Amino acid sequence: MNEFSKKEIIDILNDESQNEWLFALADKIRKENVGDEVHLRGLIEFSNICKCQCKYCGLRSPNKNLDRYRILPDEIILYAKKAVDMGYKTIVLQSGEDEFYTKDTMCNIINKIKEMDVALTLSIGEKSYEEYKAFKDVGADRYLIRIETTDKNLYKKMHPNMDFDNRLRCLKDLKKLGYEVGTGCLVGLPEQTVESLADDILFFKEINADMVGIGPFISHPDTPLKDAKNGNFTLALKVMALTRILLKNINIPATTAMETLNPNGRIIALQSGANVVMPNVTSTEYRAKYEIYPNKICINENPSQCRGCIEGKIKSIGRSISKDYGFRKK
Ligand code: SAH
């Protein structure tokens, strides 16, 4: 049961009358397979410097209107320590593709954070097998790298100087090295079809992703997609719900981009299949500058405000905050 074909997925995505049933089914499957606990991951966005030119992303290197920053290793470690003291059981390190952080620099940071009794996730883009292996050897547990879209033509248009096959290679290397692997897609990119979204969902299943992050595309004024329409919140939610139905026991975040398009977006996502939230644990000075898209939420809050706010919301819907590391349930 619940093994939808591509055609069935497309039909569900196209049929608005199915929404309530779909969200309720995803919520039920979430409850049966991963329970009512929500895993909080403390997110450190440590550099907004990026060599890539992804058409949708505000961090893209040609964007001259962004005030760039780089948090140095000692300060990253300090933020991690504060987050662990606040109760976070996972730290996520995310950045643009910034070559300042060499293999050795990253290994040092990972080493120090892993002394803190915490799970560690990296989200730092495309690296070589040797680099992924070095990070794993010093203790990194998980890696997030979205495929963004499985439509090869669209991928090519959206990612100048990048290669779809290399993205796949990264996912394959990470699996082979024993990471828990996260991927995901953007929903609502210009020219993206519902058929290709169905392929995205089936791709997550095919590679047996351990985590899947789905977010609506949000148009950024300082990118080539400045005149493009934002993605649709409900469609992104449907892609997420279908992912839960197909991959029952994985971890699925209620993404920040969802909340940017809908003031209650993360809570709605938690009630439609999601079981993870990733609050920001860096200070206010950096948050606004990590502007992958505009109107990011919580940019004026500090880490303890963020934690308090999301904890309150989670409890208000009868869910609890997990006290364990939150690996994929067996
Ligand atoms: N450099 C890392 C992290 C990228 S930022 C990497 O390559 O994996 C994390 C995610 O933000 C991206 O994977 C992308 O899916 C999302 N993102 C970027 N720009 C966006 C936009 N305009 N709207 C919505 N999500 C966006």
Q: Could you tell me what percent of the chain has a pLDDT over 90?
A: 98
**Residue 128 alpha carbon to ligand 1 centre in Å:** 20
Instruction: Give the mean pLDDT of 142-152.
Output: 98
Is residue 290 within 8 Å of 70, Cβ to Cβ? no
Write the residue with the smallest CA distance to atom 24 of ligand 1: 217
Please report, for residues 47, 60, 131, 141, the alpha-carbon distance to residue 138 in angstroms, rounded to integers and kept in the order given. 21, 30, 11, 9
Nearest CA-CA partner of 264 in 308, 212, 299, 314: 314
Write the residue with the smallest CA distance to atom 12 of ligand 1: 146
Instruction: Give the mean pLDDT of 111-122.
Output: 98
pLDDT band at 2 (very low <50, low <70, confident <90, very high): low
Cα separation, 176 vs 171, whole angstroms: 9
Residue 263: CB atoms within 10 A of its CB come to 10
**Boundaries of every domain in the chain:** 6-321
pLDDT band at 3 (very low <50, low <70, confident <90, very high): confident
pLDDT tens for 230-279 read 999 999 999 999 999 999 999 999 999 999 999 999 999 999 999 999 99
Q: What letter represents residue 216's amino acid?
A: P
**Residue 112 alpha carbon to ligand 1 centre in Å:** 26
Nearest ligand 1 atom to the CA of 292 is: 19
Ligand 1 mutation pick, 170, 186, 226, max ligand atoms within 8 A of CB: 186
Nearest ligand 1 atom to the CA of 96 is: 1
pLDDT tens for 158-206 read 999 999 999 999 999 999 999 999 999 999 999 999 999 999 999 999 9
- Residue identified by tokens 């890696």 is 143
Reply yes or no on whether the pLDDT at 8 is more than 80. yes
Q: What is the pLDDT of residue 106?
A: 98
Dihedral sign computed on CA atoms, order 119, 124, 128, 130:
negative
Ligand 1 mutation pick, 56, 147, 222, 256, max ligand atoms within 8 A of CB: 56
pLDDT tens for 14-25 read 999 999 999 999
Cα separation, 272 vs 43, whole angstroms: 23
Please, what is the average pLDDT of the chain?
97
Cα separation, 106 vs 116, whole angstroms: 16
**Residue 212 alpha carbon to ligand 1 centre in Å:** 13
**Residue 303 alpha carbon to ligand 1 centre in Å:** 22
Q: What is the pLDDT of residue 330?
A: 87
**Edge-to-edge, what's the strand order for the sheet holding 142-144?**
42-47, 90-95, 119-123, 142-144, 180-187, 211-216
Instruction: Give the mean pLDDT of 93-101.
Output: 98
Q: Which amino acids bring their CB within 6 angstroms of ligand 1?
A: 56-57, 94, 96-97, 123, 125, 145-146, 148, 186, 215, 217-218, 220, 257, 292-293
Classify domain 6-321 by CATH number.
3.20.20.70
Is residue 48 within 8 Å of 101, Cβ to Cβ? no
Q: What is the pLDDT of residue 201?
A: 98
pLDDT tens for 268-302 read 999 999 999 999 999 999 999 999 999 998 999 99
Is residue 248 within 8 Å of 233, Cβ to Cβ? no
**Residue 293 alpha carbon to ligand 1 centre in Å:** 8
- Residue identified by tokens 């919140």 is 233
Buried b or exposed e, range 28-62, using 16+ CB within 10 angstroms: ebbeeebeeebbbbbbbbbbbbbebbbbbbbbbbe
Write the residue with the smallest CA distance to atom 25 of ligand 1: 217
Reply yes or no on whether the pLDDT at 1 is more than 80. no
**Residue 50 alpha carbon to ligand 1 centre in Å:** 11
Cα separation, 216 vs 219, whole angstroms: 10
**Residue 98 alpha carbon to ligand 1 centre in Å:** 14
**Residue 164 alpha carbon to ligand 1 centre in Å:** 15
Reply yes or no on whether the pLDDT at 58 is more than 80. yes
Nearest ligand 1 atom to the CA of 213 is: 15
